[in-house]
Amino acid sequence: MAETTKTALVIGGSRGIGRAIVERLAASGFDIWLTYRGNHAAANEAKAVVEAAGRSCRLLAFDVADRAATRAALEPLLQERCPDALVFNSGIARDNLLAFMQDAEWDDVLRTNLDGFFNVSKPVVFEMIRKKRGRIVVISSISGQMGQAGQMNYAASKAGLIGAARSLAREVGRKNVFVNVVSPGVIETEMTADLPKEHVLPLIPLNRYGTAAEVAAVVDFLCSEPHMYVHGQVIGVNGGMAI
C-alpha cells in the first residue's frame, strides 16, 4: 500500500509534554501512533484532539519497562509500516536523596526511562535502517545534563539517554536516520506542580517555567524539517537555566 502520510510513534503521548507533542505533530500532518501506560481517559482525550486536526490516531497501552509487552505491542504495527518519526517521551521520577532511596525507586526509574528506550528503539531502528529513513527524538532532562540533588536515579537515566542517543546517532547517521535529544528544563506539568516556584524561578534567566508546547515545537522541527543537518545533538529547552 502506498504510504501517503507521515506517521509518528510517540511513546508516552497521553499527557503533559507528550500530549503537546502529539498535538503539534498532528498539526504538522503526521498520523499518530500514541502509546501510554494506563491512563485511558487521557489517551482518549489526546486521540480526539488528533482526530479533530484531521489525522488518525491509534492508541496502544503497554509498559515500556516490560520488554516482552513492548515488543508484542510494536511488532504488528511495524509489520504494517515503518514510522517516519519516533519520539521517546515516556518517563517517570521517584525523587529521593541517595541515603533514603529505596531499591524500587532506583529500579523503576532506570527500567522505565532508560531500558524503555532500548526496548522501544531496537525494533523501530531496525525498520528505519531497512527503509533508510527516519527521525528519532529522545526526551531527556536538564537533570541529566547538570545533575540534581534528590534525583540521582532520574538524572542517571536521563544522562544515560543522552549517551545512548549520541551512540545511536553515530551508528545510523549514514542510513539517513537522524537522532537527536531534546532536554527540557522546568516545564509546567504535573511533574513540576509541587516545586517551590520562589526558589526555582531565580535559577531561570527567562524567569518563568516553559510550556509543553514550547518543547513540542522543537520536537516538531526535528521530526519535520526537510532541510536537516542537525544530528546527534542535545537541544536544551530550558529558558537559559543551563547555558
209 is catalytic: no
Q: Report which residue type is found at 36.
A: Y
Choices 14-22, 49-57, 169-177, 227-235; region in contact with ligand NDP by CB under 6 A: 14-22
Nearer to ligand NDP, 129 or 213 (CB): 213
Cα diameter, the chain: 56
Binding positions for ligand NDP, 42-71, rule CB under 6 A: 42, 63-65
| 187 near ligand NDP (CB under 6 A) | yes
Among 37, 58, 175, 231, binds ligand NDP (CB under 6 A): 37
Amino acid at 51: E
Q: Does 112 bind ligand NDP (CB under 6 A)?
A: yes
Binding segment for ligand NDP (CB under 6 A), chosen from 49-57, 88-96, 125-133, 220-228, is 88-96
What are the φ and ψ backbone dihedral angles of 84, each rounded to 5 degrees? -75, -30
Candidate residues 121, 141, 151, 224; the one interacting with ligand NDP per rule CB under 6 A: 141
Minimum CB distance to ligand NDP smaller for 107 or for 176: 107
Given the complex with ligand NDP, which of 134 and 236 has the nearer CB atom?
236
Q: Which element (helix H / strand E) includes 220? A: helix 212-224
Q: How far apart are CB 171 and ligand NDP at their closest, in Å?
A: 23
If you ran DSSP here, which 8-state letter would residue 96 be given?
B
CA distance 10 to 198: 33
Distance CA 169, CA 34 (A): 24
CA distance 198 to 62: 37
Instruction: Kindly list the distances between the CA atom of residue 164 and the CA atoms of 55, 60, 117, in Å, as whole numbers in the listed order.
Output: 31, 25, 9
Query: Among residues 110, 191, 203, 204, which is the contact residue for ligand NDP, using CB under 6 A?
Result: 191
139 vs 150: CA distance, rounded Å: 20
Q: Does 145 bind ligand NDP (CB under 6 A)?
A: no
Contact set with ligand NDP (CB under 6 A): 12-18, 36-39, 42, 63-65, 89-92, 112, 139, 141, 184, 186-187, 189-192
